[in-house]
Chain A
Amino acid sequence: MSEETLSVVGQSVARSDGLGHVTGRDIYTFDRTFPGMLHLKIVRSPVHHARLRGVDLSEAEKVPGFVRALSAADVPHNVYTILGLIGVEPEEEFLLTPVGERVRYKGEPIIAIAADTEAAAIDAVAKVRLDLEELPAVLDMDDALAPGAPVVTHWGNNTFMYEGHNCRRVRFGDVDAAFAKADYIVEGEYRTSPIEQAPVETTGCIAVPAENGRYTVYTNTQALYFSLDNTSIILQVPGNQLHFIGGMVGGGFGGKVDVIVEPLATLAAMKTGRPVRYVFTRQEEMQVSSTRASETIRIKDGVMADGRIVARKVVNLFDCGAYSRQTPYSITKFAANAAGPYFIPNVYVDAYCVYTNRTPSSAMRGFGITMASFALEVQMDKIAEKLGIDPWTLHFINAYHNGDIKPHRKVVEDATLIETMQAAAELVGHELAPELKRMTSAPRSTEGGR
């Protein structure tokens, strides 16, 4: 197809949603209202770690406008894990914490209260009395892995188990042999903090009982079928009874991928027969909704004097908080990319999903990769400095080519790093050496190999 016949590519096209945005006429999830709509508010754990010994609802039930409280006993399948849909085990997180069990992070839901007005729901929540036995909490990953640490999970240690291993492992070549032969060893430790996605619109949904026993759920989720399928599992209702309507999302950035609000709102709609609105307040969004994981990335590289990185050993700790949510997947992505867009013939990766009594972490823009890129690129600069080599040259020397094998045994088919760096150099007015300008990402054999 010639360029002339393209009607969209290369053209500036008005966005179809623009007019709705600038006139304020878009209907976002919370802009809807329904006759008889109830407001759902949550009684949350005031501490990081405790055993729930009892709940007293007697004063809450007297609040004018109180309609119904939901507790663990109301939830058909109360223990779930979001990635159970793709076979991740075990189920670990309570939708509502039962009496006798533990709350594992500050803000974990215990009781949900539906009331006629938001004010009544807030008042009733304030009147619920919890009997909690506070337990020692662990808030740091190195502490959580140390012997004798408080155990967060129900299976006895503080790591997620990958096929019988306590970390996600990649073994490629022989790093120890390569380290022994390397001219230099360059080590680095990189730490990142949890980050809240902080969309301007908070997480929330409205569940509405519909005809034929179905429930229509208006939600601002970023993952509509994740929400639908998990709701179906937790509430033990066939998916065809759930009609989820999404689409208009006031910012997400990964913060609206977890399945947090829909199951409870739908359950409340089932139990009361009325529409139920469950919307996070800003404080809930900031404190309870999952964040980007904090990471501690420790890298040891074996490097030759000519700039080739010949071995890399990476140990990465990911703080998933109290529950794993999307973090095991994030770690698998990390493990596959621990070498970055470079060819390193010997790679050893141990990436741990570490449980602590912090707010669960989960998805956020490029999760697993973004923080790794930060660490790997600072590490590249450290190597360049150690070797006294130009950083541009170091990147070209190590850039992967089509046909290279990545540590997780993926054959590279779409390498464009070299061409991208050449274009970037031109954009910033950096004059590359002629031999770097001539390079391409074509398979090494065509260039005579390494």
Chain B
Amino acid sequence: MNVHGTYLFHAPRERVFAAICDPETLMAVIPGCRDVHLGASGDYEGTVSLRLPGAVGTYRTSVRMVDVVAPERSSLDGRLEGQMGSISGHATFVLDEERAATRIDYQGNAVIQGPLARLDSRFAERFAETLIGQGLKALDARLQTEVSA
């Protein structure tokens, strides 16, 4: 599975970078993600619930930040695992300043295993991009709130 996208944050690059390098913040904005905590392995762990017909259920998820180059780029390794199979992947975020805003370009690839792998790959990619887009939008809203607070 390959996903990519762009999102424009209405916040300075340093603040956006800090937010996306904080797995706890990042995971909190993933739609349906809850119980986020720092696990024994040093990874951030949580659970995600999906209501997609082909993938309904609860998934354990974990995220680890790797290759952090402040404030322009960071990468993470992530894993989602449940009854329906697993998704293990790597994503890279590149941050560029655009006047007062910050543009994020992300690119990720993942190996899907189990029944999930039998979903149409384009379907899975579109759904993943939707969740990432909604997560980034929520993160942006959160940063806005913090600014105004």
Contact = CB atoms under 8 A, between A and B. Distances in A.
Interface of A: 46-47, 126-127, 129-130, 132, 134, 283
A283 B120 CA distance: 10
B32 interface: no
16 contacts: A46-B111, A46-B112, A46-B113, A46-B114, A46-B117, A46-B118, A47-B111, A126-B83, A126-B84, A126-B85, A126-B115, A129-B86, A129-B113, A132-B113, A134-B111, A283-B118
A126 B54 CA distance: 14
Contacts of A46: 111-114, 117-118
Interface in B99-149: 111-115, 117-118
A126 B114 contact: yes
A38 B113 CA distance: 25
Contacts of B112: 46
Interface residues of B, number: 11
A61 to B, nearest CB: 16
B131 to A, nearest CB: 20
A195 B111 CA distance: 27
Nearest to A46: B117
Contacts of B117: 46
Contact of A132 (B83, B85, B111): B111
B77 to A, nearest CB: 15
In order of increasing CB-CB distance, the 7 nearest A-B pairs are A46-B117, A126-B115, A46-B113, A126-B114, A46-B112, A134-B111, A130-B113
A126 B118 CA distance: 11
A338 to B, nearest CB: 37
A129 B114 CA distance: 8
A115 B111 CA distance: 27
B136 to A, nearest CB: 27
Contacts of B113: 46, 129-130, 132
Interface in B41-85: 83-85
Contacts of B114: 46, 126-127
Nearest to A45: B117
Contacts of A130: 113
B56 to A, nearest CB: 14
A90 to B, nearest CB: 30
Given A46-B113, A46-B118, A47-B111, 17 more contacts: A46-B111, A46-B112, A46-B114, A46-B117, A126-B83, A126-B84, A126-B85, A126-B114, A126-B115, A127-B114, A129-B86, A129-B113, A130-B113, A132-B111, A132-B113, A134-B111, A283-B118
* Max chain B Cβ within 10 angstroms of own Cβ: one of A46, A127, A134: A46
A297 B83 CA distance: 46
Contacts of B84: 126
A127 B114 CA distance: 7
Contacts of B115: 126
Nearest to A281: B118
B115 to A, nearest CB: 5
B57 to A, nearest CB: 11
A294 to B, nearest CB: 19
A394 B61 CA distance: 68
Contacts of B118: 46, 283
A134 B90 CA distance: 13
A127 B82 CA distance: 10
Nearest to A50: B111
Contacts of B83: 126
B128 to A, nearest CB: 15
A130 B85 CA distance: 11
A208 to B, nearest CB: 29
Contacts of A283: 118
Contacts of A134: 111
Contacts of A126: 83-85, 114-115
B70 to A, nearest CB: 30
Nearest to B109: A134
Contacts of A132: 111, 113
A46 B87 CA distance: 11
A180 to B, nearest CB: 50
A145 B86 CA distance: 34
Contacts of B86: 129
A99 to B, nearest CB: 16
B138 to A, nearest CB: 30
A288 B47 CA distance: 33
A46 to B, nearest CB: 4
B2 to A, nearest CB: 12
